[in-house]
Amino acid sequence: MILSPLSPYIGVGLAAIGILWVLGNGHRILNRKIPGPVIARVTKLWYLLQMRKGNFHATNIDLPRKYGPVVQIAPGYFSLDDPESMKLVYRHANPLDKGEWYSSWTFGPKVRLENLFSIRPASAHSQMRRKVAAMYTMSALVSYEPFVDGCIRAFRDQLDQMAASNAEINLTFWCQCYAFDDTHSVKQLTCKQYGERFGFLDEGKDVDGMIMVLEIINTVCTYLGLYLWVQTFFDFLSKLISRKPSKLDHLNEDQLQRTRSEGALKHPRSLEKVRQELDSSILASSDAIKLADVQKLPYFQAAIKEALRMHPATGLPLWRTVPRGGMTIGGRYFAEGTNLGVNSWVAHQNQDVYGPDADQYRPERRLETKLKEKQEAMEQSFTSFGKGSRTCIGKNISLLEINKLVPIILRDYDLEFAVRREPTQPGMQLPGRNRWFVKPEDLPVRVRKRNASAMSCKLKA
């Protein structure tokens, strides 16, 4: 046989490859018995296909109900649904590094550069964040309120025109316009520049195709995170960034704005309570709403937080890597290099924390409980802005924009569904497409100026 002289070498080579594979994938073998979809034990394709459907946040909610609090969704990737495990994975002291999935979010026209979101080592992130953190504190952002007010005035001008013409509008798009303009204005101010906006609100269009480009980036990075080797041959993202380097560096507050407004339409009783609180407060006749005044409204704050719970912006697990020496979580040992993560949509539906009606929008749950332990449990499981040392640095920008815009929309306008919307499943009031960020679908509404004496909203469901 021609190959017979080579057979011993081939055998040794294959054995060496097998040994190296076992050594490099020990964590996969050790944890292979952890429940989950069968195919997910041997390939990432199951996870990739679920992400491609655009509704992994919904799929992820069902997984622990079927398999338990620890579910394998790909080799070496485990989704968790346990408050105690969450404390360990997202701890502040000696924090875990981010998972390898985040490496796909490095950008640059020639050399890929790390950013606060993509950088994996916790120590390097801490150093990078420390340089800019002071500019994103709530006390610093309050001084930028006049510039946020300018964006709100532009938004109100558009809403007034739409109300006058009884036109049908896409609320999803207009919230994106507000988020782009407002965030850019604030970000310029943090860089000591004059706070100008892009012009989305003024022109009512996707300026320079930035919304489209951002959606492409989100989609590509979401997929590439599972197969990082593809990045070596994939320079498309870098070309997009090099074309618009300064106009893509913003947060994704638009998802948050849309879900807040849509939530009010879906829950008229809560809307009426919010309006009663607004109409009886100092905000009833205030043209420019101050953040400090809004923060004094307990029901409004509970409603906002409940909306953030029901519709968190991100829809994939927040991956962290098990450090050297491994770690034990929930009675299970996970080897070094294993990826562990909690999906915000899963954490926010945990009935042990939020009660048997966790899949329902009910702001009262935060006001009814007097038990300190219960309040702390809800707060610790709340991950709409991330968790631990990697909490989103733009959190306060989002809260500033939400607290200033939403009261004005609810106080001054009636929004009416132009098309009947049905939830895709219990607890999910607004259908959305998940590409890391869960972007709500188009939301067609009609706008009317509200009579301040009217204490309820007439809705077409």
Binding-site residue numbers are 392
Query: How many C-beta atoms lie closer than 10 Å to residue 323's C-beta?
Result: 15
Nearest to 435 by CA among 222, 172, 214, 176: 222
DSSP characters over 313-335:
SB-S---EE--TT-EEETTEEE-
Query: How far apart, in whole angstroms, are the C-alpha atoms of residue 322 and residue 100?
Result: 11
| Residue 2, CA atoms < 13 Å, CB-side half-sphere | 0
Interacting residues of 296 by C-beta distance below 8 A, sequence separation 6+: 281
Binding site for heme: which residues? 392
Sign of CA dihedral 184, 189, 192, 197: positive
| Contact status, residue 171 vs residue 417, Cβ threshold 8 Å | no
Q: How far is CA 257 from CA 178, 180, 209, in A?
A: 9, 12, 20
**Three-state SS across 38-100?**
HHHHCCCHHHHHHHHHCCHHHHHHHHHHHHCCEEEEECCEEEECCHHHHHHHCCCCCCCEECH
| Contact status, residue 452 vs residue 284, Cβ threshold 8 Å | yes
DSSP characters over 334-390:
E-TT-EEE--HHHHTT-HHHH-TTTTS--THHHHH---HHHHHHHHHT--BTB-GGG
Q: Which helix (H) or strand (E) holds 170?
A: strand 168-170
Nearest to 339 by CA among 12, 37, 20, 47: 47
Q: How far is CA 211 from CA 54, 143, 173, 182, 247, in A?
A: 18, 28, 9, 14, 10
**What 3-state class would DSSP assign to 107?**
strand
Question: What is the phi/psi pair of residue 177, to 5°?
Answer: -60, -45
Query: How far apart, in whole angstroms, are the C-alpha atoms of residue 128 and residue 108?
Result: 17
DSSP code for 425: B
Query: How far apart, in whole angstroms, are the C-alpha atoms of residue 183 and residue 43?
Result: 39
Strands 339-341 and 168-170: unpaired
